[in-house]
Amino acid sequence: MIKTDILIIGAGPTGLFAVFEAGLLKLKCHLIDALPQPGGQCSEIYPKKPIYDIPGFPEVLAGDLVTNLMEQIKPFEPGFTLGERAQTIDKQEDGSFIVTTNKGTKHHAPVVVIAGGLGSFEPRKPPIANITDFEDKGVAYIIREPEDYRDKKVVIAGGGDSALDWAIYLADVASEVSLVHRRNDFRGALDSVEKVEELSKIGKINLITNAEVTDLKGEEELDSVVITHKDSAREKEIKETDYFIPLFGLSPKLGPIADWGLEIEKNAIKVDNAYDYQTNIPGVYAIGDVNTYPGKLKLILCGFHEAAIMCQSAYQRIFPDKKYVMKYTTVSGVSGFDGSKKEAKKEVVKSIN
């Protein structure tokens, strides 16, 4: 059982900054995220895009913002459960909560903060009856480590940028790459389409269009992929296939959180924005893109603000008898749990006094 003061579901920018705000109050945080890396939408969807509306940064790449947030929270040593989805929540007699993930990891905390953004990103799966039998046994929906495919026989399906770009990349890594797309035209960028066609001409990509993967075969692991041509209904089997990678995009879903008894409006969690971003379940807060209230803006800076307010309320909930006096970080510095302290600059303190 992982124990912490504040359990944060979602390691997007909002969840990460909440660790910092909680750390200033000496509250320890643990984060759960369904993705294998922190950063939420910034890391998963647009790491190389510049953001222009983070206060104090005229321009910052989304990926760099996440790197900076991770650096900023380092002194507070947050724990991470990555690659697991928060599945169930159970209220204990003392008012605390146990949150269990889809892989069975249990987390215990007096306060739960949902910073789940648009929800957990789930891969769109093709309608192949037995596909789940081969998940992690040859079927992958996300390419995390391209080197895993070195000298392997790979079949990719999809017609967007992701399928095209990975087919191009893996053409130099895998022993054989087939790209299967159900139409003759691709949705991806024109230069990627041209590159795939060039690689197909020189035999580095086996391009199969107007066709779909309709069946997977294998005993313990994936062994062959059956492809059906749409017009002729002719079947072709690619034998001794190591990996089948359907890249049809990721769709965000509020998922299991929708069944936790929270008040939901238009796929978002209703919160009390007049006070502390608490939900209808006392002790459960919702901050960032996942919440809704009159005038809500789904912006990173709004998530940061909500995180700061939430932490003050969470502190009072955890320590009802203690009074917290807010201090500027210029005065208090940033004191980590290991005792390391970034000293406040004396001149700044003087100028405030």
Q: Which residues does the annotation place in the binding site?
A: 14, 33, 41, 46, 86, 121, 289, 330
Is 34 a residue that touches ligand FAD (CB under 6 A)? Answer: yes
Instruction: Give the count of beta carbons closer than 10 Å to the beta carbon of residue 240.
Output: 9
Task: Give whichever of 86 and 216 is closer to ligand FAD, judged by the CB atom.
Answer: 86
Q: Which of residues 300-319 bind ligand FAD (CB under 6 A)?
A: 300-301, 303
Q: If binding is defined by CB under 6 A, does position 121 make contact with ligand FAD?
A: yes
78 binds ligand FAD (CB under 6 A): no
Q: Which of 29, 51, 164, 177 binds ligand FAD (CB under 6 A)?
A: 51
Query: What's the rounded Cα separation, in Å, for the pair 19 and 31?
Result: 9
Told to check if 13 binds ligand FAD by CB under 6 A, we report yes
Residue 8 bridge partners (DSSP) = 31, 113
Select the residue interacting with ligand FAD from 14, 100, 192, 335 (CB under 6 A).
14
Q: State the amino acid at position 284 in one-letter form.
A: V
- Residues between 232 and 261 with contacts to ligand FAD, criterion CB under 6 A: 255-257
Taking CB under 6 A as the rule, does residue 85 contact ligand FAD?
A: yes
Interacting residue with ligand FAD among 22, 65, 109, 115 (CB under 6 A): 115
Instruction: Show binding-site residues for FAD.
Output: 14, 33, 41, 46, 86, 121, 289, 330
Could you please report the per-residue DSSP string of 290-314? GEE-TT----HHHHHHHHHHHHHHH
Cite the beta strand spans of 148-223 per DSSP E. 153-157, 176-181, 206-209, 211-217
**Contact assessment for residue 120 and residue 252, using Cβ atoms and an 8 Å cutoff:** yes
Interface with ligand FAD, residue 298, by CB under 6 A: yes
Our CB check for ligand FAD shows the closer of 17 and 149 to be 17
The backbone region for 148, taken as left when phi is positive above 0, alpha when psi lies in -120 to 50, beta otherwise, is alpha
Q: How far apart are CA 264 and CA 162, in angstroms?
A: 33
How far apart are alpha carbons 330 and 342 in whole angstroms?
Answer: 10
Q: At its nearest, how many Å lie between ligand FAD and the CB of residue 271? A: 13
- b/e code 242-261 from CB counts within 10 Å (16+ = b): bbbbbbbebebbbbbbeebe
CB of 93 to ligand FAD, least distance (A): 25
* # of chain residues touching ligand FAD (CB under 6 A): 37
Helix and strand counts by DSSP (H, E) for the chain? 8, 25
Of 120 and 178, CB closest to ligand FAD: 120
Nearer to ligand FAD, 264 or 349 (CB): 264
**Tokens 């990719």 -> residue:** 156
Q: Which residues on adjacent β-strands are paired with residue 41?
A: none
Q: Which amino acid is at 242?
A: D
Using rule CB under 6 A, residue 23 touches ligand FAD: no
The smaller minimum CB distance to ligand FAD, of residues 63 and 256, is found at: 256
**Beta carbon of residue 289, minimum distance to ligand FAD (angstroms, whole number):** 4
Kindly state the smallest distance separating residue 168's Cβ from ligand FAD, in Å. Answer: 22
Residues that bind ligand FAD (CB under 6 A): 9-15, 32-35, 40-42, 45-46, 51, 53, 85-86, 115-121, 255-257, 288-289, 298-301, 303
